[in-house]
Structure 1
Amino acid sequence: MSTPPSTQRPTAAFLMQAAISFGIALLAMAYGIAKLPLDEWARGFLAIGLVFVTTSAFTLAKCIRDRQETESVTSRVEQARIDKILSEHDPYDPSKH
């Protein structure tokens, strides 16, 4: 029986770096929008756009992750089914021919 493929988990340092870089980028954009020489309506529009882009990015990342997990589970089920068929198959048994 074959072993399932190992999945590499991101390290704590990588997760921390990703979170920090996301925070810096979000704060820099918010600061830039706040300091633009525009009226409140234009600044508000840009701020809402920033929030929308941020939440859309999280939603897209979650959808991609969910699809990859589903494909992984399906692949494991199919592999288990193939392993079972192969383990039950005896090429030397004359009754199966």
Structure 2
Amino acid sequence: MRKHELTANVLLHFPIIVMLGMFLVASYPLNLVVMFIFYLAGVVDLTYSKLPLYRQRIWNSFGPETISMRRREAYYRGYKRIAFGGALNLLMLVHYSM
């Protein structure tokens, strides 16, 4: 994709993405379900990435150093999903506190 096509796509789709995000934050039962799904998917990814450590009876390990290279992507993806769920949670708190 060329630069001007990418720029055009970003300019055309950005308002749609923002409106869908505002709809998601404002719709009461849907936003809780989506937030729960992001949290749950993040925990599943973290558990999957640390499963070999749990099998070796290593219960406390911090950082990706002890995780195999194959599973580090799932480790990072899990934390990204949990962070996105947390950001959605904060947006909902700000929206409903007003």
Asked if TM exceeds 0.5, the reply is no
Flag the structure with larger Rg. Answer: 1
TM-score bracket, normalised by the shorter chain, equals 0.3 to 0.5
TM-score, structure 2 normalization = 0.35
